[in-house]
Amino acid sequence: MSDKEVTMIRGDHATLIDDLLAAAPVEADKIGHRTVLSIGGARVIVLSFDQGQQMKEHRSHHPLLLQALDGHVRVAAAGQVMDLRPGGLVYLPNALAHSIDAVAPSRITLTPIGIEPSAPAPG
């Protein structure tokens, strides 16, 4: 998979995405996002952050799972500050205000839970 491809899969078969990191390269001074899988009610988005980038406080209409692929981000929500590193997972209920700060160049997966198959990507 090249770094320019987006995998949008629909069907009744097993799907392998063999390199999530290649799907969303870290770019200098930017926050990137790439939908790597969208099938039925499942969507997986890879967010990439350069060191020092911040996703300001916002809310989602769906519960979210955030999982670190590499690097180190700090997630702030409901008065908690959580350090998310590879192997870590954060659950955020819907409508919970949260922000994300990149302590190091990082990539995380964002998986909204309970989305409708035709729902727009969370933001």
Instruction: Answer positive or negative: Cα dihedral of 76, 81, 86, 90.
Output: negative
Looking at residue 35, its amino acid is T
Structure confidence by residue, pLDDT tens digits, 57-74: 999 999 999 999 999 999
pLDDT at position 18 is 86
Residue 15 φ then ψ, to 5°: -130, 130
> pTM of the full predicted structure?
0.83
Structure confidence by residue, pLDDT tens digits, 17-56: 889 999 899 999 999 999 999 887 889 999 999 999 999 9
Share of the chain above pLDDT 70, in %: 85
Residue 98 φ then ψ, to 5°: -155, 160
Structure confidence by residue, pLDDT tens digits, 69-118: 999 999 999 999 999 999 999 999 999 999 999 999 999 999 999 877 65
Catalogue all structural domains in the chain, each as residue range(s) with its CATH number: 32-112 (2.60.120.10)
Residue 123 DSSP one-character state:
-
Neighbours of 34 (CB within 10 A): 20
Cα-Cα-Cα-Cα torsion 106, 78, 35, 73, nearest 10 degrees, comes to 0
